[in-house]
Amino acid sequence: MQWTEARVRQEVRTWLGENWDPNARLIEWRNKLMDSGWGMPAWPTHWFGKDMPDGLIPTVQEEFARVNAVGVARTGIRLWAAETLLAHGNDEQRERFLRKILTGEEIWCQLFSEPGSGSDLAGVTTRAERKGQEWIVNGQKVWTTSAHHADYGLLLARTNWDVPKHQGMTYFVVDMKQEGVEVRPLKQMNGHASFNQVFFTDARIPLNNRIDEEGNGWRVAMTTLMHERRAANALAGQSRSKTPEGTIYEEERCENTVLSEPYTWYPQRAGRVDLAIDRAAATKTLDNPVVRQELAQLLMMSQCSEWTALRARAAREKGQPQGPEGSLGKLANSYIARQALRVHTITTGLGSMLEGEDAPMEGLIAEILLSVPAISIAGGTDEIQKNIIAERVLGMEKEPRLDGGPFREVRKN
């Protein structure tokens, strides 16, 4: 089947005309989307898609936006989980999990980081041991968003301690509601509690919840992280210009209220570049030459990052594999956030440290001040991104390693 833009536009417009109903129930509509293939058109036809080239996906999105049609569930790590299972799961796992991820019936979290191995993902020590027809898991994870209400988690665990660390990990889907999984929220310095610690004490995983082969956890995790970094470097998606009425929108808003709560401070950790000019005008510092230079630097950096994201999107639309744009964009976002913070604190002055109703912007500037450091850590630290760029883009030699032997013999934190 040969897809063209004209054909895609006509078919999706016709299908929406026959099926879109703003008063439908949200889950029923998303199930219909999955059956039609228009929910994830770039996916294979036998897995809820239409085998459509990535370059034509914007045409589908335009037609959905034209009638304000709701798409598949995308909040949180759902798409990372779905894309990982599509790439590495078996047919039984895809059949079991993919549909309910994208209809929004099941919530997911990502269980990678640990207290002693945050930046060094391959240093995980959470242990999974096979006993009979299941795996028994013991250990601890940290910085896990949405673990407090997740149904399932993507778990990276150590299954072999006698091989080099990258070879001894296995990837699992774990039931977060079972006995033996304890979730504790972490209070952040900006007042939010978006992340959690997760403790596993003899938690059980069925054999058929192992993703890919035993020992291939690192390879599967790289797929998940690729989609995470791609999302972190993406441009803002299509937003509705008005608040439409209808049962489906009400249910979607309720869903987003619950699932988006952990992410309410994420715009602040990115520095809120959108506020910079208005803030300088409000504080009457636009004529200050130092402020003008810092503001110009911020806007130039932001625009360049946006062009990098566009380049990455264009490559994906042509079907090209993920290049260095993910790490470049992730690192750029850290620099932009810090520059935005510098602009906000210069224009606001000592008021940047105040919270509460009487503070500048009711404490929003203070929240930016406290939140920006997180962007240099989440999703892979700046140092990790620099290593990736140095080795894979600039062709520089890798750093000397002292952890190449059996993981059992590697010194731990």
Roughly how many angstroms between the first and final C-alpha of the chain, as a whole number?
Answer: 55
Cα separations in angstroms, 48 against 43, 248, 314, 366: 7, 21, 24, 45
Contacts of 305 (CB under 8 A, 6+ apart): 329, 332, 333, 336
Contacts of 125 (CB under 8 A, 6+ apart): 114, 116, 117, 139, 158, 412
Determine contact, residues 157/126, Cβ cutoff 8 Å: yes
Determine contact, residues 387/119, Cβ cutoff 8 Å: no
Beta-carbon count within 10 A of 140 CB:
16
| 288 vs 80: CA distance, rounded Å | 45
Nearest to 216 by CA among 111, 116, 87, 114: 87
The continuous run of DSSP H or E covering 156 comes out as strand 152-158
What's the pLDDT score for residue 235? 41
Residues of the chain with pLDDT under 50: 234-239, 241
Instruction: Dump the DSSP string for 262-319.
Output: GGTTHHHHTT-GGGHHHHHHHTT-TT-HHHHHHHHHHHHHHHHHHHHHHHHHHHHHTT
pLDDT digits (tens, 9 = 90+) for 344-402: 999 999 999 999 999 999 999 999 999 999 999 887 889 989 998 999 889 999 888 87
What is the per-residue burial (b if ≥16 Cβ within 10 Å, else e) of 172-188? Answer: bbbbbeeeebebeeeee
Structural domains in the chain? 106-233 (2.40.110.10), 265-379 (1.20.140)
What's the pLDDT score for residue 322? 65
| 229 vs 180: CA distance, rounded Å | 31
Query: What are the start-end ranges of the H helices in 69-216?
Result: 78-88, 91-103
What's the pLDDT score for residue 236? 39
